[in-house]
Structure formats: structure tokens, C-alpha cells
Amino acid sequence: MELGGAFTIFLALCLSCLLVLFTWKRINKRGKLPPGPTPIPFLGNLLQVSPNATFQSLMKLQKKYGPMFTVYLGPRPVVVLCGHELVKEALVDRADEFSGRGEMATLERNFRGYAQGGEGREEPHSQILAGVALSNGERWKILRRLSLTILRDFGMGKRNIEERIQEEAGYLLEEFRKTKGAPIDPTFFLSRTVSNVISSVIFGSRFDYEDKVFLNLLRMINESFVELSTPWAQLYDMYSGIMQYFPGRHNRVYYMMEEIKDFVASRVKINEASLDPQHPRDFIDCFLIKIHQDKNNPHTEYNLKNLVLTAVNLFFGGTETVSSTLRYGFLLLMKYPEVEGKRICLGESLARMELFLYFTSILQNFSLRPLVPPADIDTTHRFSGFGNIPPIYKLCLVAR
């Protein structure tokens, strides 16, 4: 017993020394980083930054440490920038220096493992990421340049995409009329409409609103976006080295994203079989043409793996970000109904924005009616992490 007790004490002392050394090294490194709260070994600043209220926690720290400060999310240091001027200086004025993507363990399993090379060879343990959203360096620049070129060729930022949005908004209005003023959850009404705009560019056609495959894709996109914003996902990003070996909610995102990838890959195969280089039909066709043009370049970034994952990035981002913003917009218009009645000249550029086109189409034809008094409407987000997730609510759309 005495020997066992002595060993326990020795082990505790060794552990304490390691913790002290870890803390000292962290504090020593902070000389090169902006000020911030002192991290605790292993936990970092979890006591100051709550995974349940990340945004609010950071705003509270801003008051103490200023608009630029450092927090440790677990063992990882993160520099936080607050305010329009500081963010503009970093992301616009010094865009090249700040263009790199940070780590996001919850998604990296779906997008890692692709080496340089014309065939997009897979490396099981590679940390190189593919697709336009999560890649870095030269790969990101090449994929971004090609993606923007193709999107512009198909009308993004031009008047013909406005016509496509207006056409899709017409289908949405018809769906709203079918409700006859009954209470509805607007989530999938909006996501079907928004997704069809980006789908027509990526896949060359829109989906029917009752298409079961389409509805399942929207469900997975919505649930993935919610899961990515939960405290559980944020903990996984901090401690993925440990949590990846255990079951839990963090694995749900991986499996749903794999299903979305499989769908996009199947559409790529369909396009390959009927490709006409002289008449590209959509984003996939244009990328396939670039792959064939560059097939003799051993270092090309134009390969099927980058095509599939870039299409997934655009499909996911083009669906959920706009539809979530619209849901928040509906909520705010019901809480502050006096805003809806204001009329102001917004200028042509804003008037042609996707969000504005949807809002005007809906508000010209329907009044938004909440199920509770405006003062009782709760606009608090469900989760605040990867995104601010709007609360679940119902409303009535009454024809004008």
C-alpha cells in the first residue's frame, strides 16, 4: 500500500509539473498574440466562452479586451476581430494575408484526403482539403477563379439570374396560396425555392417541390447546418483528436454530408455520359470540360474530386444561408410590423439582390401574420456556432 501511495503521489506531481509547463508555454507564446483571458490547460477559455452562447461570450470579452483579442477554444488559439472597420481591414484591405481557411474538424473528414495531381488521388491520412470552401493556398485560388467564372457565365450577378429568381419566387407564391392562410412552418417552403435557383445553375434544372430525393437533400442540409452550430459540434472542433474515436452527435454531420456527396457524384456521372463540350448545360458540364482540357497536366487541380466537393459547397451554401436569412427576416417583420410599411429608394444594385427579390415578391402578395402578439415573438436563435440558427416558428400568409 505504501509503495502504491508513493507512486500515486509521484504521478500526481508529474502531472502537476506538466500542467504548469503547459500553462507557462501558452503564456509565453501569447507575446505574439493580442491580449485575452488566460487559458486553463486543456480547457482553454471554455469558462469564458460558452459553447451555448458563443457570440454573446465574445461580445462580453470585447468590452474588456478591446476589438481584437485572443481566446483559446480548447488547446487552439483563436484571434477574434470585432467591428466593421477591423474586419474590413483584415478581410478586404489585407485579403491575401487573411484568405486562409481555419480548421473545422466537423467537416474536414468529408473534404480531406485529396493529393495534388490530375486524377485527384486519394491519400487516406492527408490533411490537404478539396473543394472551394475549405481548401487553402493555390488550390483555393484556382478553384475560386474557375467557380466565379462559371457562375458569372450562368448569370450570377447579372439580370438573367434576376429573372430566374423571379420565376422561382412565382412557384413559391403558388405554394403559399395553397395554404389558404393556415399556420405553416416556412422552413422548407423557403429552402425549396432558394435551393432551386442554385440547383438550376449547378445541375441545369430545378427540382419539383414534391421530389422526394430533393426533399431528403434539403432535410440533410438543414439538419447539418443546425448540427454544425450546436455546442456538441463546437466541442468536437476543439477536441476532435479525442472525440473522433467515440460515438455521438458529431458523427451525424459526417454521414449526412457523405449522402449529399454521393448524390452530387451521381449527377456528375450522368453529365459525363451526355457531355457536349460545345453546349455546356450547367456548372458541372463547364467543370468537366476544364478537366478534359487540362488532362495532360500532372499538377492540375481540375479533377473529379474537386468538382464533386466544389459542387457540394455551392449547393449547401447556396441553399441554407439564404433560406435561414429569409426565416429570420420573416420573424423580424412580424415582430416589428411597422418596418414593412416603410418605403425607401434602395438603389438598383440592392433591388436586384436575391434576398430583396424574395422579400418584395412575398410582401407584395401576402401579409405575414404571427400566431402570438408581436411583443411576444422571441427572436433568440436556437444555436449560435457555425451559424445563428433561427428559432422554429409558424406564421400565416394571408393573401392581399
Residue by residue, DSSP assigns 166-195 as HHHHHHHHHHHHHTTT--B--HHHHHHHHH
Residue 236 is predicted with a pLDDT of 84
**Do 233 and 380 share a domain, yes or no?**
yes
**How is 12-79 classified by DSSP, letter by letter?**
HHHHHHHHHHHHHHHHHHGGGS---PPPBTTTBTTTTS-TTSHHHHHHHHHHHH-SEEEEEETTEEEE
CB 243 within 8 A of CB 250: yes
**Do 316 and 367 share a domain, yes or no?**
yes
**Do 73 and 151 share a domain, yes or no?**
no
Say if residue 113's pLDDT is above 60.
Answer: no
Query: Between 247 and 370, where is the model more confident?
Result: 370
Local structure of 267: helix, strand or coil = helix
Cβ of 373: how many Cβ atoms within 10 Å?
8
**Do 132 and 264 share a domain, yes or no?**
yes
**Do 187 and 247 share a domain, yes or no?**
yes
Confidence at 346, pLDDT banded by 50, 70, 90: very low
Domain end position, chosen among 82, 98, 114: 98
Residue in the structure block whose three cell numbers are 451521381? 266
Q: Are strands 383-384 and 388-389 parallel, antiparallel or unpaired?
A: antiparallel
Say if residue 184's pLDDT is above 90.
Answer: yes
- Once rounded to an integer, what is the mean pLDDT over residues 75-88? 91
CB 238 within 8 A of CB 74: yes
Output the domain CATH number for residue 312.
1.10.630.10
Amino acid in position 223: E
The per-residue pLDDT of the chain, averaged, comes to 84
Say if residue 132's pLDDT is above 90.
Answer: no
Residue 126 is predicted with a pLDDT of 47
Residue 293 is predicted with a pLDDT of 94
Say if residue 277's pLDDT is above 70.
Answer: yes
- Once rounded to an integer, what is the mean pLDDT over residues 43-61? 85
Say if residue 342's pLDDT is above 70.
Answer: no
CA distance 382 to 4: 50
Q: How far, in whole angstroms, is CA 288 from its chain's centroid? A: 25
Residue 107 is predicted with a pLDDT of 84
Residue 351 is predicted with a pLDDT of 44
Say if residue 32's pLDDT is above 60.
Answer: yes
Each residue of 159-173: pLDDT tens digit?
678 888 999 999 999
**Do 94 and 122 share a domain, yes or no?**
no
**Do 27 and 126 share a domain, yes or no?**
no
**Do 135 and 219 share a domain, yes or no?**
yes
Say if residue 74's pLDDT is above 50.
Answer: yes
Each residue of 229-270: pLDDT tens digit?
888 888 888 888 888 888 878 789 889 999 999 999 999 999
Q: Quickly list H helices, the chain.
A: 2-29, 54-65, 84-88, 105-111, 137-153, 159-178, 187-202, 212-228, 231-238, 240-243, 250-273, 283-293, 304-335, 348-351, 354-365
Domain end position, chosen among 52, 73, 98: 98
Nearest in space to 237 (alpha carbons), one of 104, 383, 389? 104
Number of folded domains in the chain? 2
DSSP type of residue 296: T
- Once rounded to an integer, what is the mean pLDDT over residues 301-309? 93
Nearest in space to 225 (alpha carbons), one of 105, 386, 384? 386
**Do 392 and 359 share a domain, yes or no?**
yes
Does this model's pTM top 0.85? My answer is: no
Q: Is the Cα torsion angle 240, 246, 248, 252 positive or negative in sign?
A: positive
| Percent of the chain at pLDDT exceeding 70 | 84
CB 192 within 8 A of CB 206: no
Residue 112 is predicted with a pLDDT of 74
Query: Between 354 and 351, where is the model more confident?
Result: 354
Domain end position, chosen among 98, 131, 154: 98
CA 199 → CA 83, 203, 275, 290, distances in Å?
34, 5, 18, 20
**Do 75 and 117 share a domain, yes or no?**
no
Residue 20 is predicted with a pLDDT of 57
**Do 73 and 140 share a domain, yes or no?**
no
**Do 224 and 262 share a domain, yes or no?**
yes
> Where in the sequence is the domain holding 129, given as residue range(s)?
99-399
